[in-house]
Amino acid sequence: MKKILCFALLFTLLFTSCKLLMQEDYGTVIIDLEGKGERAVGANGLPELSSASMKIEIIDSRGGSIVKYLEENEAKVFQGNFIVGSELTVRVSLFTGSAVWAGNAGLTVAEGNNTVNLKLSKNAVFFKPFGFSVIKKGSSATYDITMPEGTIKITGASYFSTDNPEFCRDGKARLYVAYKTSSAPVNWKLERYNSDGSGKKEITLPSVLSTNYTVKLAYDIKTGKTYLYCTDGSSNKFYPIGEDTVLSEINGGTLQGAYIAVYNGYLFTVKTNELYMYKINGSSLSSVGSQKSLPGVKVAGSDKSVHCRDVFIKDNKIYILFTLSSITGSPYYSLGGIIEYAYTEEGIEDRPPNQYGFTDGLAPENNIIHTPENDFYGAVQVLGFEDDNIYIADEGFNNFNTSPPPITYSHVNRLAVFNTVTGNLSFKSTDYKWFLEAAAQAPVPGGKVLLLAKNTDTDKGFVYYQKNEGEYNGLTQPLISSDNINEVPTDVFCCDINTSAPDDDISRYLYVVWKVNNKYIIRGYLWLKDSLEYSNSFYEKDTLLNKPITAIAVCTSNSDRYLYYTYKDGSDTHIKRLKWTTSITFASASNDTNYPVTIADVGDSKYFCTALAASKDGVFAAIKSVDNENTPTTYSADIRKYKHTGISFYDGERSYISESIPSSTPADDFRLVEISDMQVKNDILYGVSVKKTGKLNNSGTTRVFTSGKLFKIENLSSAFNSSTTIIDLWNGGTETEGFAPYRIISGSENKLIIASDGYYGNKNLSPKVQNKNKVLNFSYPYNTPDVKDTEAKFSKELSLSVNEFDWK
């Protein structure tokens, strides 16, 4: 009996001790995001708890973890027992259709109830990808935007070939959309939408900007701030966008940028393939470290400069998306990729960047480069990011078919997922159209390019050839030439290939100025649709002039058609025109005596018209002024606009360059700039200029060379003035390359092909004289040329005679 009683007492003692131990060694951990002590997640535009799912992860420092998932409409509350003294890390993620909010907290478990003091982030930490399609009809565009929780439709946008809509998310998963309109002076709109597509809010853009500028947007995922960047090519404006949409300018100083990203108070920009870093210091910016040059891509044995399309920052890494394509040949290709840099607070790290999503050194097969399916066709837009993944819009072209002409190709629209840890890429097809399907224009049928060269017998003027793009040698079959010294073609021409016109339209001509028996006439050579080339038969119109015509331009956009021509007569420069209607051929055109434009010399300043262009918006004349034709000490070039009709044809002007050259300037440093050609494409005026450095016909000169620029002017419907923006697209070449853009020789709407007639001469080198006859092939967006040599000897040649350089 004693033994039984002792055993019972021992059992009771053990039970009581264990029970007490359990109560004292465990504490209850409570996570309650719906309690009064927590911030209301549904306030200020953030998602409501009831419409979101949640993941709760609790990690014990001594090992082990618990993961709990709470679905929509389920109470966002968790309760569990943990050993007293345990050090816990609590991580909470709140998932909506558009984004993820997160919070974390640390806790040492005590006896009793332990309420976790956890706040969800005010700003989303991840964004689910959105989709969009740009649908172009005529000169306007519609944006169909699909958010994970709703849709947005924007109509009435004007679609310019060099300006895409701009997208950005903010910390509440709202979408900002900036897009170009046709109205002026404010030609952009900026709108903000809730994550479900509702709540449209228009943000007023600064009034201090010029009438033509570009807008970029960026969101700092670390600080939660959204930024607006505006540039017109010369001045730059940078603004944080407040919750109330009020803009507060940050002094940009010498800010360089075309594409931007912001992270943790640092601004990163890319301009002309240079990467810059800045620190945002309240209301000002300061440069950090030195800029880095983006690496090129080797295509068909040549290094090509990439075209930056977007910039994204995550932690200490900079991701630059790029495209590189040619849909008009020599060869055909569509590529893209990601360039990854690392940075610290001291600047961008000075080491080669990592590169993903493309294969360097691809070679063409039958003039086509085939992009591997696991590479980008064109990385164009960051759409979202989640954990270690970045979602990217991939678009481009494939399935090129070059025979028989015209060239055909297919659009590629995919969603790419890039893992920033492993570097892995995956792609899937999508129904979204992204940008390019609207922007791309079919190449000119047959891809024909005009080449012109001096006749070997210089008394017989010039010879014109029509060649396939990329085939600039083997000049054996001329389109236009002369064997008669009294009837010779000049190097003044323009073309009007209206590929949208009906098949029986009679306006598609190549217009060439001829000198016939000391008079100047214009001949029109018809485009042959069936054989995709110009005919060598022509219509002819006499201008009744015995003065050289220096430039011509044609406008067939209206019912009345005009061919403008310019010449110098004594102290006056004249712009006149021929006129005809859609119902008759060019041969029936008449001299329009009601259009007299005269530019008179003023004092010592002599004026010359060096180039003309025309569109439905007016006539554009490049006017050069010098105080001395041979050795000017001052010179200028401006672009004047004239109306087609009205009492006063003059419609303003925009200065391109104005410079004084002191007489003490060394002969090697003498320079002169003039605009050599202009052309209107897609309602944008493109122009090329040549800079000649080093005085010609001077024995004291030891070095001469040429360089050039390609520029554009948009918003052609408005009068020109000092605020009219000129944007440089390409600033060409070193002095030894000797680029000199001379004539725009392609009629393609998505390509600019330019004859470059330049030189490099140096008395201290061998050879002392180098003539640079090349063809510069610019694909959209026209900022990097594919350079080809040609047998064609264009207008003039450099020579060295009696210790003087001569250009004739």
> Residue 763: which domain range?
445-807
What whole-number percentage of the chain has pLDDT above 70? 87
- Most confident range (mean pLDDT) of 50-59, 231-240, 414-423, 708-717 is 414-423
Q: C-alpha distances in angstroms, 727 versus 280, 685, 731?
A: 27, 10, 11
Place of tokens 């430039």: 551
pLDDT at 16: 40
Asked which of 319-323, 436-440, 535-539, 570-574 is least confident by mean pLDDT, the reply is 436-440
Structure tokens at 492: 């003044």
With 0-12 / 13-18 / 19 or more C-beta atoms within 10 angstroms meaning exposed / middle / buried, residue 35 is exposed
pLDDT at 208: 63
Instruction: Based on the fold, state whether residues 388 and 495 are members of the same structural domain.
Output: no
Task: Give the residue, 114 or 149, on which the prediction is more confident.
Answer: 114
Any domain includes 31:
yes
Per DSSP, the three-state class of 90 is strand
Place of tokens 């500028």: 213
Q: Tell me how crowded residue 147 is: count the other CB atoms within 10 A of its CB.
A: 23
**Residue 247 has what DSSP assignment?**
B
> Rounded distance, CA 563 to CA 315, Å?
59
Structure tokens at 485: 């010294």
What confidence category does residue 751 fall into, taking pLDDT thresholds of 50, 70 and 90? confident
Any domain includes 749:
yes
Task: Give the residue, 368 or 156, on which the prediction is more confident.
Answer: 368
Residue 511: CATH number of its domain: 2.120.10
Question: Looking at the predicted structure, is the pLDDT value of residue 163 above 70?
Answer: no
Residue 64: CATH number of its domain: 2.60.40
pLDDT at 426: 96
Instruction: Based on the fold, state whether residues 562 and 648 are members of the same structural domain.
Output: yes
pLDDT (mean) for 463-479: 82
Task: Give the residue, 438 or 72, on which the prediction is more confident.
Answer: 72
> What mean pLDDT, rounded, does the chain reach?
84
Question: Looking at the predicted structure, is the pLDDT value of residue 793 above 50?
Answer: yes
Asked which of 33-42, 158-167, 226-235 is least confident by mean pLDDT, the reply is 33-42
With contact defined as beta carbons under 8 Å apart, do 289 and 349 qualify?
A: no
Buried/exposed code over 274-296 (b: 16+ C-beta within 10 A; e: otherwise):
bbbbbebeeeebebbbeebebbe
What confidence category does residue 566 fall into, taking pLDDT thresholds of 50, 70 and 90? very high
What whole-number percentage of the chain has pLDDT above 90? 45
Any domain includes 61:
yes
Any domain includes 344:
yes
Instruction: Based on the fold, state whether residues 414 and 460 are members of the same structural domain.
Output: no
Question: Looking at the predicted structure, is the pLDDT value of residue 392 above 90?
Answer: yes
Instruction: Based on the fold, state whether residues 427 and 461 are members of the same structural domain.
Output: no
pLDDT at 9: 40
Which of 115, 148, 171 terminates a domain? The answer is 115
pLDDT at 315: 92
Q: What is the pTM of this model?
A: 0.61
Instruction: Based on the fold, state whether residues 466 and 436 are members of the same structural domain.
Output: no
Question: Looking at the predicted structure, is the pLDDT value of residue 444 above 80?
Answer: no
Which of 387, 406, 440 terminates a domain? The answer is 440
> Rounded distance, CA 381 to CA 312, Å?
9
Pairing of strands 131-137, 389-401: unpaired
With contact defined as beta carbons under 8 Å apart, do 293 and 274 qualify?
A: yes
Question: Looking at the predicted structure, is the pLDDT value of residue 582 above 90?
Answer: no
With contact defined as beta carbons under 8 Å apart, do 771 and 749 qualify?
A: no
With 0-12 / 13-18 / 19 or more C-beta atoms within 10 angstroms meaning exposed / middle / buried, residue 583 is exposed
Buried/exposed code over 624-640 (b: 16+ C-beta within 10 A; e: otherwise):
bbbbeeeebeebbbbbb
With contact defined as beta carbons under 8 Å apart, do 259 and 270 qualify?
A: yes
- Most confident range (mean pLDDT) of 33-47, 563-577, 623-637 is 563-577
Any domain includes 515:
yes
Instruction: Based on the fold, state whether residues 332 and 412 are members of the same structural domain.
Output: yes
Question: Looking at the predicted structure, is the pLDDT value of residue 50 above 80?
Answer: no
pLDDT at 681: 82
Type of residue found at 604: D
Instruction: Based on the fold, state whether residues 310 and 457 are members of the same structural domain.
Output: no
pLDDT at 234: 67
pLDDT at 206: 82
Instruction: Based on the fold, state whether residues 380 and 473 are members of the same structural domain.
Output: no
Instruction: Based on the fold, state whether residues 422 and 478 are members of the same structural domain.
Output: no
Which of 440, 462, 493 terminates a domain? The answer is 440
Any domain includes 387:
yes
Any domain includes 614:
yes
Number of domains in the chain: 3
Buried/exposed code over 103-129 (b: 16+ C-beta within 10 A; e: otherwise):
bbeebebeeeebebebebbebbbbbbb
pLDDT at 802: 87
Instruction: Based on the fold, state whether residues 577 and 477 are members of the same structural domain.
Output: yes
pLDDT tens readout for residues 60-102? 988 889 999 999 888 889 999 999 999 999 999 988 888 999 9
Task: Give the residue, 167 or 466, on which the prediction is more confident.
Answer: 167
CA atoms in the 13 A half-sphere facing the CB of 697:
4
Quick one: which of 280, 277, 239 has its CA closest to 256?
Answer: 277
Question: Looking at the predicted structure, is the pLDDT value of residue 757 above 80?
Answer: yes
Task: Give the residue, 136 or 796, on which the prediction is more confident.
Answer: 796
Instruction: Based on the fold, state whether residues 748 and 635 are members of the same structural domain.
Output: yes
Any domain includes 214:
no
Instruction: Based on the fold, state whether residues 402 and 451 are members of the same structural domain.
Output: no
